[in-house]
C-alpha cells in the first residue's frame, strides 16, 4: 500500500469540502448499492428487520459510514492512530472481513461518479481511491 | 454457461445502445491510465502519458479507447457464449500483447465508473449489478486462454 502524497491529501480535502454536504445521501446510496450488487454483504445485517437497500436501517448505516469517512479526512495525516478505536470496533466487535472494505469503497466511488460526474475527474478518482484504501488498511490494523 | 435474466439482457443492450463510443471509450482508457498508472506499461509507444491532462489529450489513447469499447460489442451480441467469442482475443492478449489479466478488471472498473457518470441516477444498483456481472464474464473470458 502506498502513502498518500501531499497532492492526494489536498485533492481529497478539496473534493470532500465540495461533497460533504451530501454525505448522508452518498452513504445511503453506497450502502444500498453494496447490498444489491454484492448480496453476500447482507450477511452482516441479519439483525435488521428490513434488509432492503432503501430501508431506514440501511440509510442510517450509510450515514454512520460516511461520518466515519469524513472523520478520516480530518485525520488524514495519521489514519492508523486516528482510526484506532474504529479499528478495534471492527476487529473485536463487528468482525467485518476486510475484503468488504474494498467492496464498500468501490461503491462509494461509483456513487461519486453518479452524483458528481464533472468533479469526479481521473485525478480525484485516483486520490480518493488511494485514500479509501488507506482508510481500509487503518481499519484492519487491529485485526491480528 | 452463464444464465442471464431478461432484465440483465435488456440492461446490457440498453447501455451499449446509448453510450457514445467516442466519448466513453477514450474516457475509460484515460481514467485507467491515471488511476492505475502501472497499466501505462503497455503503451510505451503512445507518447505523452505524463499527467492526466496529457493522457486526456492523447490521440492514440482516444483511438485505442474506442477500439477497446467496440471490442465489447462482440460480447453484447453473443451473451450466451462470451467465452468462445473471446477465445481468439484471449490468445492475442496473452501471447502477443502479454497483458497481465488482472488488468482487465481494472479497466472494467473504470468503465463502470464512466458509465455511472454518464447515466447518473439511471445507473441504479440493479443496473450496476447487471453491468458488473457482464463485465466479470468478459474479464474471465479474456483470461481463459492464458497458460
Q: What does the pLDDT profile of chain B (147 residues) look like in tens digits?
A: 899 999 999 999 999 999 999 999 999 999 999 999 999 999 999 999 999 999 999 999 999 999 999 999 999 999 999 999 999 999 999 999 999 998 999 999 999 999 999 999 999 999 999 999 999 999 999 999 998
Give me the mean pLDDT over the A84-89 stretch: 96
Which of B31, B109, B125 lies nearest to residue A37, judging by beta carbons? B125
Which of B52, B126, B132 lies nearest to residue A122, judging by beta carbons? B52
Chain B residue numbers with beta carbons less than 8 Å from the beta carbon of A62 are none
* pLDDT bucket at A1, cuts 50 / 70 / 90: low
From CA B88, how far away is CA B95, in angstroms rounded?
A: 10
Looking at residue B1, what is its pLDDT? 81
Which of A114, A122, A126 lies nearest to residue B120, judging by beta carbons? A114
User: For chain A, what is the mean pLDDT?
Assistant: 95
Are the Cβ atoms of B117 and A120 closer than 8 angstroms? yes
CA distance B143 to chain A (A): 22
| Interchain contact A132–B (C-beta under 8 A) | no
- Nearest chain B residue to A111, by CA: B116
Chain CA centroid to CA B57, Å: 20
Do residues A51 and A36 make contact, with C-beta atoms less than 8 angstroms apart? no
CA distance B129 to chain A (A): 5
From CA A78, how far away is CA B41, in angstroms rounded?
A: 32
From CA A82, how far away is CA A86, in angstroms rounded?
A: 9
User: What tens digit of pLDDT does each residue of A19-28 get?
Assistant: 999 999 999 9
- Nearest chain A residue to B130, by CA: A37
Looking at residue A79, what is its pLDDT? 96
Amino acid at each position: 500500500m502506498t502513502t498518500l502524497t501531499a497532492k492526494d491529501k489536498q485533492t481529497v480535502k478539496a473534493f470532500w469540502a465540495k461533497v460533504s454536504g451530501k454525505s448522508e445521501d452518498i452513504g445511503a446510496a453506497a450502502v444500498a448499492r453494496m447490498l444489491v450488487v454484492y448480496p453476500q454483504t447482507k450477511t452482516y445485517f441479519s439483525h435488521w428487520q428490513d434488509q432492503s437497500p432503501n430501508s431506514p436501517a440501511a440509510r442510517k448505516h450509510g450515514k454512520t459510514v460516511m461520518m466515519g469517512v469524513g472523520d478520516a479526512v480530518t485525520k488524514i495525516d495519521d489514519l492508523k492512530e486516528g482510526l484506532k478505536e474504529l479499528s478495534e470496533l471492527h476487529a473485536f466487535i463487528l468482525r467485518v472481513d476486510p475484503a468488504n472494505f474494498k467492496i464498500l469503497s468501490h461503491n462509494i466511488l461509483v456513487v461519486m461518479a453518479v452524483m458528481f460526474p464533472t468533479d469526479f475527474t481521473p485525478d480525484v478518482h485516483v486520490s480518493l481511491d488511494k485514500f479509501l484504501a488507506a482508510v481500509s488498511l487503518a481499519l484492519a490494523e487491529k485485526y491480528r | 454457461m452463464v444464465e442471464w435474466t431478461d432484465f440483465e439482457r435488456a440492461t446490457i443492450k440498453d447501455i451499449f445502445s446509448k453510450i457514445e463510443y467516442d466519448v466513453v471509450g477514450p474516457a475509460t482508457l484515460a481514467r485507467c491510465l491515471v488511476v492505475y498508472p502501472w497499466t501505462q506499461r503497455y503503451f510505451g509507444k503512445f507518447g505523452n502519458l505524463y499527467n492526466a491532462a496529457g493522457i486526456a489529450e492523447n490521440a492514440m489513447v482516444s483511438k485505442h479507447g474506442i477500439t477497446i469499447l467496440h471490442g465489447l460489442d462482440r460480447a453484447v451480441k453473443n451473451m450466451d457464449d462470451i467465452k468462445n467469442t473471446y477465445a481468439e482475443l484471449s490468445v492475442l492478449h496473452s501471447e502477443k500483447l502479454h497483458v497481465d489479466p488482472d488488468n482487465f478488471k481494472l479497466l472494467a472498473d473504470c468503465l463502470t465508473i464512466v458509465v455511472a457518470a454518464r447515466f447518473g441516477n439511471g445507473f441504479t444498483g440493479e443496473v450496476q449489478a447487471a453491468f458488473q456481472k457482464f463485465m466479470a464474464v468478459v474479464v474471465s473470458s479474456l483470461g481463459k486462454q492464458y497458460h
